[in-house]
């Protein structure tokens, strides 16, 4: 089962135990992924900002007098995800095809599918779907993601050519 996808707050009790409460949730609506909180920052006035790299948003959370919180979403400009912007257009169709071919075997050889699904249909609930990547990464960004993946994804012993090929493979999918 996909886990995480929410922000929790930890409350230290007088007896030393810690109670966890949902702070911001609702990113995972059943099978549908709505967002993925990645980082949190607090301003000096107590306003909390939470970034979401799935929807490309930053949530601003301000305390209200009644004790509730107001959440507003500052949506970042989305990439169109076109070949132009992703950097795919800098390859000839022939290069793109052979890189995608290489990337596909790197994907298979490294058992990426043990944790990932390439689409949302029929994927097991435990797989992290690799979807909408073109809206969020260029070839260069995705290639560099593999040098320092977000935990718990492990680092793979991939060379620069493998990383580029994997990025092209994942971004060039229809």
Q: Which positions lie near ligand HEC, rule CB under 6 A?
A: 36, 107, 110-112, 114-116, 128, 130, 133, 142, 145, 149-150, 152-154, 156, 166, 170
DSSP for residue 45: T
Q: How far is the CB of 47 from ligand HEC (least distance, A)?
A: 24
Cα separation, 167 vs 121, in Å, equals: 22
Q: How far is the CB of 58 from ligand HEC (least distance, A)?
A: 16
Cα separation, 80 vs 97, in Å, equals: 22
Q: How far is the CB of 56 from ligand HEC (least distance, A)?
A: 11
Of 74 and 111, CB closest to ligand HEC = 111
Q: How far is the CB of 36 from ligand HEC (least distance, A)?
A: 6
Respond yes or no on whether the N-terminal peptide bond of residue 152 is cis (omega within 30° of 0). Answer: yes
DSSP for residue 23: E
Phi, psi of 85, deg, nearest 5: -75, -30
Of 83 and 118, CB closest to ligand HEC = 118
Q: Are 163 and 96 in contact (CB under 8 A)?
A: no
């Amino acid at each position: 089962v996909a886990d995480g996808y929410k922000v929790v707050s930890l409350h230290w009790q007088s007896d030393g135990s810690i109670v966890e409460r949902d702070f911001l949730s609702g990113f995972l609506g059943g099978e549908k992924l709505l967002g993925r909180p990645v980082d949190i920052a607090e301003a000096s006035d107590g306003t909390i900002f939470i970034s979401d790299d799935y929807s490309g948003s930053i949530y601003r959370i301000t305390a209200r007098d009644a004790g509730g919180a107001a959440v507003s979403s500052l949506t970042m400009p989305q990439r169109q995800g076109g070949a132009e912007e992703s950097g795919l257009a800098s390859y000839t169709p022939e290069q793109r095809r052979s890189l995608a071919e290489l990337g596909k075997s790197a994907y298979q050889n490294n058992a990426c599918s043990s944790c990932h699904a390439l689409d949302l249909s029929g994927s097991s609930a435990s797989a992290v779907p690799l979807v909408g990547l073109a809206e969020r990464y260029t070839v260069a960004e995705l290639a560099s993601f593999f040098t320092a993946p977000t935990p718990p994804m492990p680092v793979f012993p991939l060379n620069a050519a493998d990383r580029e090929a994997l990025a092209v493979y994942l971004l060039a999918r229809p």
